[in-house]
Structure 1
Amino acid sequence: MPQKKKQAEFIKWFGPLLDALRELGYSGKPREVSEKIAEMKGLKERTLDATLKSGTNRFHNQVAWARQYLVWEGLLDSSIRGTWRLTEKGKKTSLTEEEAREIFLKWVEINRQIREEKAGKQQVAKEESTEAPDEITFSAEDDLLSVLKSVSPEGFEYICMELLREHGFVSLSVTPKGADGGIDGFGVLEINPFVTMKIAFQSKRYKGSVSRAQIGDFRSAIMGKAEKGIMITTGTYTRAAQQEASRDGATPIELIDGEKLIQMFEKVELGLKPKVVYEVDLNYFDKFR
């Protein structure tokens, strides 16, 4: 008997995503929206910490898939990069899972037709159209993370040092191997002409998630050596790690995950060449079908 094909799990987040944005005042940053959904649904840490083979956070990835379909449906506005915002239609819309599935199937069919046109009318199997990959991909971001994961551990440390320099840090240095005690480098951040802060950074060229214990080890290493720590990874952080980083009464640790790392590279255009790319607004053309 043929194995039953896996259905798109992210459909279940269509309605909660709209609800979360309403709770946030109609707009929010991607991670902020995911956090609100997790809070409203009471999701367990096991669900929130799960990752895909690429190291991407599974839950946030599924929410990103849901967002894309809601943009196509005209419920979310995609005009502001880095911010998810409800349209006037989206503000008034609530979705059941069945309604969400209808939206999903509608746009799967539209995209299937587009793919067929691009492929010269080649047939795309109907049963394949009701599935979704595990992971939504955005080529520029994927390319950058892939490159960062391919450099040597030492090379990644120097890249992180240059990135911090581009963001205003001075007196940066990488610690010698074997003598770092878990610290990859130090730097100074000038908050204003009168106040500076010494920081220590650690870079982890990871595919998976950084644990709570690793945050604790890094904090122990910087005690008495820096006022603050910054951990930079190409992967993600577990919920427990995030909580440990901001624990009251302890030396604060700033966390930079793969997603935020990409944003930091893009902001200063480090190792990136900008180019104009136009994306077809499928929602605009939908009303003419």
Structure 2
Amino acid sequence: MRTCSPGFFESVVVRLLMAMGYGGVAGHGSVTGKAGDGGIDGVIRQDKLGLDVVCIQAKRWDGPVGRPVVQQFVGSMDYYRARKGVILTTSTFTRDGADYIQRIEGKKVVLVDGDRLAELMIEHDLGVTTTKTYALKDVSNDFFEEDGA
């Protein structure tokens, strides 16, 4: 993911959140990322009218994402009147950045690091293909019951 373009990475994280069920049946997700986007790379509208909005920021970084970036994202959510947000990165978050999220009021922001991002992509079949499937067998106790014994 670190070698793909920023635009592709932004579309991947929006697709992932949609695959996870954000946006529901009537919702809509879109990439907003471009120069001057105010730190919001994607938006998911949870309903047709857009009354419930989730803001997304995608950081395709090698180094850790710190508090200044997290704090700026939280402030940028006001432009969309959003109370929910997700920052996803290919790297990690600093302790200071994670601690900041625990202290804010009125907004719920989730931080997803690179390891968790990979787990979620695998779990929701995004960017992966199934190569083999194995059947697990259990012994059927009903089969071995004898009548009248």
For residue 246 of structure 1, report the CA deviation from its aligned partner: 2.1
Structure 1: 4+ residue segments shifted above 2 A: 274-277
C-alpha displacement of 1:178: 2.3
Q: 1:212 maps to which residue?
A: 67
CA contact (8 A) 1:204 1:232 kept: yes
Q: How far has the Cα of 1:265 moved from its partner?
A: 0.6
Q: Deviations over 1:238-269 (max 9, x none)?
A: 11111111214252211010111011111111
Q: Does 1:172 align with 2:29?
A: yes
Question: What TM-score results when the alignment is normalised by the length of structure 1?
Answer: 0.41
TM-score (norm 2): 0.76
Matches within 5 A, 1:163-242: 163-170=16-23, 171-175=28-32, 177-189=34-46, 197-225=52-80, 226-242=82-98
Q: Deviations over 1:168-216 (max 9, x none)?
A: 12211111512411100100347xxxxx731100000011100011110
| Per-residue deviation, 1:227 | 1.4
Number of the residue aligned with 2:15:
162
Q: Which has the higher contact order (CA 8 A, sep 6+)?
A: 2
Matched ranges for 1:40-189 at <5 A: 148-170=1-23, 171-175=28-32, 177-189=34-46
Amino acid at match of 1:260: R
The 1-side partners of 2:44 and 2:126 are apart by: 19
Which structure dedicates a bigger proportion of its chain to helix? 1
Amino acid at match of 2:58: S
Q: Give the match for residue 109 of structure 2.
A: 253
Structure 1 Cα separation of the partners of residues 75 and 69 of structure 2? 10
Unpaired segments ≥5 residues, structure 1? 1-147, 191-195, 278-289
Structure (1 or 2) with the larger CA radius of gyration: 1
- 1:36-79 deviations in Å (ceiling 9; x for gaps): xxxxxxxxxxxxxxxxxxxxxxxxxxxxxxxxxxxxxxxxxxxx
State the Cα distance separating 1:271 from its structure 2 match: 1.1
**Which amino acid in the other structure matches residue 161 of structure 1?**
V
Aligned-pair identity (%): 31
**Structure 1 residues 265 and 204, CA, compared in 2 at 3 Å: closer, same or farther?**
same
Taking the aligned partners of 1:229 and 1:275, their CA distance within structure 2 comes to 34
RMSD between aligned alpha carbons?
Answer: 1.9
User: How many residues align structurally?
Assistant: 125
Q: Is the 8 A contact 1:168 1:189 kept in 2?
A: no
* Pairwise CA distance, 1:276: 4.9
Instruction: State the SS of the aligned residue for 2:2.
Output: helix
Structure 1 residues 176 and 233, CA, compared in 2 at 3 Å: closer, same or farther? closer
For structure 2, the 5+ residue unaligned runs are: 134-149
